[in-house]
Amino acid sequence: METHSLDTTRLSSSQLADRFTELKPALSRREARLEAERCLYCFDAPCITACPTSIDVPTFIRKIATDNVTGAAVTILEANLLGASCSRVCPVEELCEGACVLGADHKPIEIGRLQRYATDHLLEKGVMPFTPRSATGRRVAVVGTGPAGLSCAGELAKLGHEVVVFERRELPGGLSTYGIVVMREPIRVSLEEVAFVQRLGVEVRTGVEVGRDVQAGALVDEFDAVFIAAGLGRVPALAIPGEELVGVTEALDFIAATKLAEKEGLERLNDLPLGRHVAVIGAGNTAIDAATIARRLGAERVTIVYRRSEAEMPAYDFEIAFIKQEGVEFRLQLQPLEILGEGGRVTGLRCARVTLGAPDADGRRAPIMVPGDDVIVPCDQVITAIGQEKPAGLAAAFGLATTRGYLDVDADGRTAHPKVFAGGDCVRATGQAMTVTAVEDGKVAARAIHAQLTATVAVAAGGSA
């Protein structure tokens, strides 16, 4: 990321600590028991169905109520090996807590915070509740250490397979490590979960990019199966004039720098490139997080510039409400045309006004530019957050089919290649990309890979008998 520190106030260590810690505090033992005792332990509980990983929520909550916290964590991890991450980042209002029957008349049970209480307890104690089955002699390569890759790797290791995970970045954990804002998930939690999966016997090789340092063909030859969980890539270029100016920042780099600061010292946040007036282009997860960070670092004005209306924003309603509270402004139905600059630095964003037409392929109303009615949004920094690049390189390297750039898979994560499976963001052509759905993809694919590998073993054994 290019650096230019504009004239902003430096924040003290305590201000930084206040602004860049988890938003929701941990529950104390007493609070957790009181909350757990509110649960009705429904038969056919809707929260289980609403959880993409089908965690047996009433059972783990009952265990917390009886002070069996390790047992509660085991119930969670049996369904979702990344329960500590999910407890923090799941949009629970839309998932388990949204389905809680108590929500109709009272406050729903705080399932996410109870899940965090249990999983944090287990990770802090360093307990390993699973004993992997005896070795099958089968080897699986996983591409990417994000939630999908780790989930698949951990589940396969539990079943006795040898798993090697390749990760191109220096640190493992995918977007849990580099992407999700520290106020929701500290980097520590992501790295502890990686260590947990490693303790199941999974080998993690960081700094190794598949397609560059290791060839796709070599993985297919050397391993019995491959699971691609490479996520998506960088924010694509806007392809408008002015992108080369100092003050144009890619949102994922900006967010990653704040995640790493937690590891390297929060004071480093004062060195991040930050303008006084920041325009963030986009209205999804990444835009929301980048805008929140810019405000918390001290930008005087942060404006989300989006080409559709609030109803079409990919971010959840509660996230939009949250950033409004943080003081972020919205300029809607504006299409950026040019980043303006003076002396090589950003001075503004020229946009066309937009009206909205009929719904397009993804069901959102299509923006139609109004010619000759341009608007200038004054700013000295532009943060781009208009989605992520698709996994075109890996699709080509493995010879896989894609739909709108996402890898094609069946319900079990199988690609058309008999040895290659895929899951997580790189296959999510429709629907909201979430950590918990990536974890579920990894789990489902692990079961399919296991079934395929053990069927091959059975056929081979039958053939030689």
We find the least distance from the C-beta atom of residue 92 to ligand FAD, in angstroms, to be 10
Phi then psi dihedrals of residue 355, to 5 deg: -110, 165
Contact of residue 425 among ligand FAD, ligand SF4, none (CB under 5-8 Å per partner type)? ligand FAD
In this structure, the chain runs to a length of 465
Q: Which does residue 211 bind out of ligand FAD, ligand SF4, none, counting CB within 5 to 8 angstroms by kind?
A: ligand FAD
Q: Which is nearer to ligand FAD, 35 or 289 (CB)?
A: 289
Return the number of the residue (99 or 164) whose C-beta is nearest ligand SF4.
99
Whole-number minimum distance, CB 461 to ligand FAD, in Å?
34
5, two tokens:
């520190």
Q: What CA–CA distances, in Å, run from 13 to 48, 80, 266, 268, 270?
A: 42, 36, 7, 10, 10
438 binds ligand FAD (CB under 6 A): yes
The minimum distance between CB 443 and ligand SF4, in angstroms, equals 12
Structure tokens at 318: 């509660």
Under the binding rule (CB under 6 A), the answer on residue 89 touching ligand FAD is yes
CA–CA separation, 32 and 64 (whole Å) = 7
Three-class DSSP category at 436? helix
Task: Choose one: 75-83, 92-100, 147-155, 303-311; the region binding ligand FAD (CB under 6 A).
Answer: 147-155
Which of residues 255, 272, 334, 420 is near ligand FAD by CB under 6 A?
255
Partner touching 263 among ligand FAD, ligand SF4, none, CB below 5 to 8 Å by kind? none
Q: Is position 281 an interface residue for ligand FAD (rule: CB under 6 A)?
A: no
Q: Does 175 contact ligand FAD by CB under 6 A?
A: yes
Encoded one letter per residue, x for contact with ligand FAD by CB under 6 A and - for no contact, window 215-244 reads --------------xxx-------------
Q: How far is the CB of 21 from ligand SF4 (least distance, A)?
A: 20
Long-range CB contacts (within 8 A, 24+) of 238-241: 238/281, 238/336, 238/339, 238/384, 238/386, 240/336, 240/337, 240/338, 240/339, 241/338, 241/339
- Residue closer to ligand SF4 by CB (options 94, 329) is 94
How big is the CA angle at 32 (ends 20 and 63), to the nearest 5 degrees? 130
Token readout for 61 is: 């909550």
Q: Residues in contact with ligand FAD, total (CB under 6 A)? A: 36
Binding of ligand FAD at residue 179 (CB under 6 A)?
yes
Tokens of 328: 């972020």
Query: In the numeric block, which tokens belong to residue 118?
Result: 């249990």
The position carrying tokens 């089908």 is 54
- For position 302 contacting ligand FAD by CB under 6 A, the verdict is no
| Residue 128: Cβ-neighbour burial (10 angstroms; 0-12, 13-18, 19+) | exposed
The option from ligand FAD, ligand SF4, none interacting with 149 (CB < 5 to 8 A, set by class) reads ligand FAD
Subset of 90-129 contacting ligand FAD (CB under 6 A): 90
- Can residue 211 be called a binding residue for ligand FAD (CB under 6 A)? yes
**The one among 4, 139, 168, 353 contacting ligand FAD by CB under 6 A:** 168
Nearer to ligand FAD, 292 or 333 (CB): 292
413 lies in the site for ligand FAD, by CB under 6 A:
no
User: Please, are residues 14 and 355 in contact by the beta-carbon 8 Å criterion?
Assistant: no
- List residues near ligand SF4 by CB under 6 A: 51, 53, 55, 57, 80, 86-87, 90, 92, 95-96, 111-112, 115, 436
* Contact status: 186 vs ligand FAD (CB under 6 A): no
Strand residues in 18-143 grouped as ranges (E): 139-143
CA-derived radius of gyration, the chain:
23
Nearer to ligand FAD, 184 or 364 (CB): 184
State yes or no: residue 286 binds ligand FAD (CB under 6 A).
yes
| Candidates 117-125, 139-147, 188-196, 335-343; binding stretch for ligand FAD (CB under 6 A) | 139-147
Measuring CA to CA, how many Å separate 224 from each of 46, 214, 331? 38, 16, 52
> Looking at beta carbons only, is 145 or 381 nearer to ligand FAD?
145
Q: Which of 402, 413, 393 is nearest to 140 (CA)?
A: 413
Closest approach of Cβ 119 to ligand SF4, in Å?
A: 9
Reported for 211-218, long-range contacts at CB under 8 A and 24+ positions apart, including other chains, are: 211/393, 211/394, 211/397, 212/168, 213/168, 214/166, 215/397, 216/394, 216/397, 216/398
Which partner in ligand FAD, ligand SF4, none is near 111 (CB below 5 to 8 A by kind)?
ligand SF4
> Smallest distance, Å, CB 80 to ligand SF4?
5
Tokens of 13: 């260590």
- DSSP tag of 53: T
Which lies closer to ligand FAD via its Cβ, residue 93 or residue 338?
93
- State the DSSP code for 116: H
Work out whether strand 334-342 and strand 365-378 pair parallel, antiparallel, or are unpaired: unpaired
Task: Give the footprint of ligand FAD on this chain (CB under 6 A).
Answer: 89-90, 143-149, 166-169, 174-175, 179-180, 184, 209-211, 229-231, 255, 285-286, 289, 394, 424-425, 433-436, 438
